[in-house]
Amino acid sequence: MKLFPIHTSNFKIDGGAMFGVVPKVLWSSKYPADENNLCNWALRSLLIDTGERVILIDNGYGDKQSEKFFSHVHLNGGEGLEGALQKYGYSPDDITDMVLTHLHADHCGGGVKYNKDKTGFELTFKNAIYWVSKPHWKWAMNPNKQEGAAFLEENLMPMLHSGHLKFIEKDTELYPGINIRLYNGHTFGQMIPFINTGDKTVVFMADLIPSTAHIPLVWNMAYDVSPMEMLQEKEDFLNEAAENNYILFFQHDIFNECARVQKTDKGVRLKETFTLN
């Protein structure tokens, strides 16, 4: 099994939104903001080549949205989706499985693109199965008012009508060595992949823990739809991660790609950071 980090781009959003109730004087010392209170975050995906399947986890914003849309997220840096795949010798047509942790635009927008003459949309990964949590899909079709703007029709409906969409209903082994667990604190039915490489377990953190700065238990996002459930899910996961020496692969931490955690007198804390390589 081979794993490759796919750094599609970076994006900027409000630091207060990313750290919720944590005061700026605290979070800005760990994750600095610019004069507009914007922090720069990574958009990483993860490519897994099992020898039989080529699996991509999440795919960034894509490029089909309007100029006005992108003016709010300030895309910068990265290698682009296709560029990052090509770096490791892959193309979109090689992807057999597109695993979407959840359907917020920064996680799934790259899975659908304009067709050649821009009269409609088509799948970016035409040979792939698109995997989505069934509870999350139902939630995205009828979200609460907080999340409504995060689910874009042009990202979702082409997947549904393509015939490539398949649902995961509960915690499951997707393929040998690749297990999916469902979490509900950030958004209902978020899928978190656990990848067992033999002697190591790599966990794709998505928005369960978006960065090393979010490892302390109460350092969570204002975007989380169920804050108390998030606290319990996060505590349980961090204890498990510390006990089992998991490698945490961060989707949004621009400074740190991977980390391990450890138990301390103050709870589970950062142990070390490193790159996936």
CATH at 40: 3.60.15.10
Looking at beta carbons, which pairs linking 126-130 to residues 24 or more positions away fall under 8 Å?
126/92, 126/93, 127/93, 127/94, 127/95, 127/96, 128/56, 128/95, 128/96, 128/97, 128/98, 128/164, 129/96, 129/97, 129/98, 129/164, 129/166, 130/98, 130/100, 130/159, 130/162, 130/164, 130/165, 130/166
| The pTM of the whole model exceeds 0.95 | yes
Q: What is the mean pLDDT of residues 137-156?
A: 94
Confirm whether 259 is domain-assigned. Answer: no
Residue 84 lies in a domain: yes
Does residue 96 lie in a domain region? Answer: yes
The mean pLDDT value of the chain amounts to: 97
Q: What are the tens digits of pLDDT across the range 61-108?
A: 999 999 999 999 999 999 999 999 999 999 999 999 999 999 999 999
Residue 93 within a domain:
yes
Q: Is residue 230 part of a domain?
A: no
* Domains in the chain, number: 1
Whether 43 is in a domain gets the answer yes
In the chain, the percentage of residues whose pLDDT exceeds 70 is 100
What's the average model confidence in pLDDT over 164-171?
Answer: 98
Segments forming the whole domain that contains residue 182:
2-195
Q: Tell me, yes or no, whether 33 lies in a domain.
A: yes
